[in-house]
Amino acid sequence: MTSQKYFYKRLDFIQLHLAIGRLTMTIVCTLVVLIFTVVLPAFALDWGDNEWASCPSTVEGTWLSDNPDSINSKTLNIQKNRVSITQNMDGEVSFTGNTFLEKGNFIEMVLQSTTKEKEIHLKLRPHIVQTYSDPENRAHCRIKVFQFNSQAHAKFDKYSSWEIYQLKRN
């Protein structure tokens, strides 16, 4: 008789183990399905996308900060040989640089402060293009500028801040 009790106990333990395994797999599969049905992927805009076609083919130009706080708004001026960030509240150029590299979706820049105390690393990518009911049907082109404290942070995309800039209309 004792051997039958052990047989039943062992069989019950195996069935319990299988039931827990099935329950765990059901919960995991349900969570995966919920994640894929609720969370929608968002892809970043690229420089060659159709949405960006109505915007300039290069990032050169004057870009104004979209910051609603007009006291601290900035101007990013990008020309072929010179890049500068100007703080609107005092009109002084706060950072300057002379080169930028295009790497995939991003344009990378290293800017030096005018006091030579600080160096910032920037990555730019196209952001949102909005077309409003404009009589000239112009697009409102925007870029997103990520700021990094060091080259190592830029390499691993550990940004310290970001801002949206809009192309200045002529």
pLDDT for res 1:
47
Cα–Cα distance measured from residue 113 to residue 123, given in angstroms and rounded to the nearest whole number: 17
Own/partner long-range contacts of 76-81 (Cβ < 8 Å, ≥24 apart): 76/145, 76/165
Average pLDDT over residues 41-54: 72
Q: Which residues contact 137 (CB under 8 A, 6 or more apart)?
A: 131
Is 40 in a helix, a strand, or coil? coil
- E strand or H helix that includes residue 126: strand 119-131
Q: Give how far Cα 84 sits from Cα of 98, 111, 113, Å.
A: 9, 8, 10
Q: Tell me, what's the pLDDT at 69?
A: 61
Torsion of CA 67, 107, 53, 130, to 10 degrees: -20
pLDDT band at 30 (very low <50, low <70, confident <90, very high): very high
Strand partners, 167: 63
Residue 52 has pLDDT above 50, yes or no: yes
- pLDDT tens track for 137-164: 555 788 888 888 888 888 888 888 888 8
Cβ-based neighbour number of residue 100 at 10 Å: 19
More confident position, 107 or 67: 107
Average pLDDT score over residue span 75-99: 73
- State the pTM of this model: 0.64
Of 34-38, 57-61, 84-88, 128-132, which range is least confident?
128-132
